[in-house]
Structure 1
Amino acid sequence: MKISISIVLYNNSIPMLQKTIRSVLNTTLDITLYLIDNSPIDTLNIFASMDAQIKYLHNPSNPGYGAAHNIAITNSIKSGTKYHLVLNPDVYFEDGILEHIFNYMNSHSDVGLLMPKVLYPNGDIQYLAKLLPTPWDLFARRFIPIKSYLDKLNRRYSLTFFDYSSIVEIPFISGCFMFLRTDTLKQVGLFDENYFMYLEDADLSRRIGTVTKTVLYPHVHIYHEYERGAYKNFRLLWIFIRSTFTYFNKYGWFFDIHRKKINQQTLQQLGWIES
């Protein structure tokens, strides 16, 4: 059974990308790896001949992160592939991870989206399983640099009180590693291309969660370099702000009954106690 994987590129570090691609290719599964390169120049085409399982596409018009992944996902669906993995170019993992996730998804047909435990290279947990965001969650995390306050906010929004020890449903799965069931994508659609970058993963997670389970699967882990570009680059910050407007204009700013209900259910499931 074939699995497709897509990585969207933009002037990436070659050594880091080699590490990611080796992780993907070192599997017993039958895969197709799509490298969608949004870079202005096709320098990264050196990876096109690395393996017969790689399909490289130079896309210098740079339509955005989700739109580039949609190119690969559309091909995946057309070819009848059952699963598609959306993967960041700064993620790597050990042998057997894809096989483990593949077997879990095969035996749990009620799961449409899965993310494993995500670690920093030093082994610390990245708290990338989140509630559906409110405007205040996103504003405060970016513009209020008070550690004590952010720790309290993240304890709830980023679920840092949870120890990542059990399989749980989470409404917002990070786009760094989204293992997707293509039949589910046929129901809810692909990435919303109105987002150039940022929050397209929150949007897709939310839509998938209306028809099937979106789960954190902590029994396997991956490593993610995670540079948080919007915190360091004004252009990326502006893109992030535009994405927040796109997201909340779509789902509601302060009155979002679905968000409130799903977040309350998630907190109750995880045993949240208000402090």
Structure 2
Amino acid sequence: MYDITATIVLYCNSKVLLSKAINSFLNTHLSVNLYLVDNSPSDELKCMCTSENIEYFFMNSNNGFGAGHNFIMRQPEKMGKYHLVLNPDVSFAPGTLEKLYDYMENNPDVGNVMPKIIYPNGDLQYLCKLLPTPMDWIGRMFIPFKSIKKRINDKFEMRFADYESEMNVPYLSGCFMFLRKSVIEEVGVFDEGIFMYGEDTDLNRRIYQKYRTMYYPKVTITHAFEKGSHKSLRLFWIHVKAAIYYLNKWGWFFDKERRGINKKTKLAYTSLK
């Protein structure tokens, strides 16, 4: 069994950014294997298979982000002891995987760990979040007032917390999910009812119900993040539909578990600075 495997789901990606992600993952002394699952219209990105530790799968259709990752995660024999859900626009320094591997080895009650994530210019990305309410996900998309949006985002993105401290977070970003294989086998894979945006919320919530899902800022990665749903009408509606699906599944205004988890999280991590 590999120490770590990873999937990168592709769709007409930048070869420059993808190359950085691939090289970051393969640059380790651990036993690793990388799966490129390509949802693109053509197999042009097959040329990125530059190592014997890369396997390429051309899907000839785009069934969504979660479905792409599930193609591997539904095959336990392909996964390592730990499996990384990795975005094609993420990069990190040598030693990163080793530190996360050691962290998981020393914390068997952790099902998912996410490092500190920064933009290429060094600014922090606020990717630790509370479980979303209808206002967090849908309301703020349509509210025209920046001050109200900022107030919603500050709470939802846990800006009240100290991002230099470890935290058990109910919603961690899907751009980098360092998962324990045994936990995925127990709680399941991504819900394919969500095409994109929100599948990470749903999976992390299911893991959080039984394990800790940790933000670990002693390790830092870079994410060349662009909010595509803010620039494309098609992606915007995919985002809206994902939010509706998630809220239909877990509850709109009457979600007792969400209220309890969010209250506990705010009490535990509100910074005294």
The aligned counterpart of 2:218 is 219
Question: 2:72·2:79 contact (CA, 8 Å) conserved in 1?
Answer: no
TM-score, normalising length: structure 2: 0.96
Quote the Cα distance in structure 1 between the aligned partners of 2:79 and 2:126.
Answer: 33
Question: 1:131·1:158 contact (CA, 8 Å) conserved in 2?
Answer: yes
The aligned counterpart of 1:87 is 86
Alignment of 1:241-252 (within 5 A): 241-252=240-251
Give, as a single letter, the amino acid of the residue that structure 2 aligns with 1:183.
S
Quote the Cα distance in structure 2 between the aligned partners of 1:168 and 1:28.
Answer: 28
Identity among equivalent positions (%) equals 48
TM-score, normalising length: structure 1: 0.95
Quote the Cα distance in structure 1 between the aligned partners of 2:79 and 2:253.
Answer: 40
- Structure 1, 264-273 or 10-19: larger mean CA deviation: 264-273
Quote the Cα distance in structure 2 between the aligned partners of 1:223 and 1:29.
Answer: 21
The aligned counterpart of 2:59 is 59
Question: 2:173·2:201 contact (CA, 8 Å) conserved in 1?
Answer: yes
Divergent runs of 4+, >6 A: none
The aligned counterpart of 2:194 is 195
- Structure 1, 196-205 or 18-27: larger mean CA deviation: 18-27
Question: 1:116·1:218 contact (CA, 8 Å) conserved in 2?
Answer: yes
Quote the Cα distance in structure 2 between the aligned partners of 1:68 and 1:107.
Answer: 30
- Structure 1, 146-155 or 252-261: larger mean CA deviation: 146-155
Give, as a single letter, the amino acid of the residue that structure 1 aligns with 2:174.
G
Give the C-alpha shift of residue 156 in structure 1: 1.0
Give the C-alpha shift of residue 150 in structure 1: 2.1
The aligned counterpart of 2:17 is 16
Question: 1:3·1:84 contact (CA, 8 Å) conserved in 2?
Answer: yes
Give, as a single letter, the amino acid of the residue that structure 2 aligns with 1:30.
S
- Structure 1, 139-148 or 19-28: larger mean CA deviation: 139-148
Aligned residue-pair number: 271
Question: 1:142·1:231 contact (CA, 8 Å) conserved in 2?
Answer: no
**What secondary structure, in the 3-state scheme, does the structure 1 residue paired with 2:18 have?**
helix
The aligned counterpart of 2:27 is 26
- Please, which runs of 5 or more residues in structure 2 have no aligned partner? none
**What secondary structure, in the 3-state scheme, does the structure 2 residue paired with 1:164 have?**
coil
Give the C-alpha shift of residue 72 in structure 1: 1.6
Question: 1:34·1:56 contact (CA, 8 Å) conserved in 2?
Answer: yes
Cα distance change of structure 1 residues 145 and 224 upon mapping to structure 2, 3 Å threshold: farther
- Asked if residue 106 in structure 1 is aligned to residue 102 in structure 2, the reply is no
Quote the Cα distance in structure 1 between the aligned partners of 2:34 and 2:177.
Answer: 14
Alignment of 1:84-163 (within 5 A): 84-163=83-162
Output one character per residue of 1:249-272: Cα deviation in whole Å (capped at 9) or x when no partner: 100111000000000011011026
**What secondary structure, in the 3-state scheme, does the structure 2 residue paired with 1:133 have?**
coil
Quote the Cα distance in structure 2 between the aligned partners of 1:124 and 1:144.
Answer: 26
The aligned counterpart of 2:236 is 237
Question: 2:73·2:79 contact (CA, 8 Å) conserved in 1?
Answer: no
Give the C-alpha shift of residue 151 in structure 1: 2.1
The aligned counterpart of 2:8 is 7
**What secondary structure, in the 3-state scheme, does the structure 2 residue paired with 1:35 have?**
strand
Quote the Cα distance in structure 1 between the aligned partners of 2:29 and 2:147.
Answer: 46
Give, as a single letter, the amino acid of the residue that structure 2 aligns with 1:68.
G
Output one character per residue of 1:119-147: Cα deviation in whole Å (capped at 9) or x when no partner: 01111110011000001011233222433
**What secondary structure, in the 3-state scheme, does the structure 1 residue paired with 2:172 have?**
coil
- Please, which runs of 5 or more residues in structure 1 have no aligned partner? none
Give the C-alpha shift of residue 198 in structure 1: 0.7
The aligned counterpart of 2:206 is 207
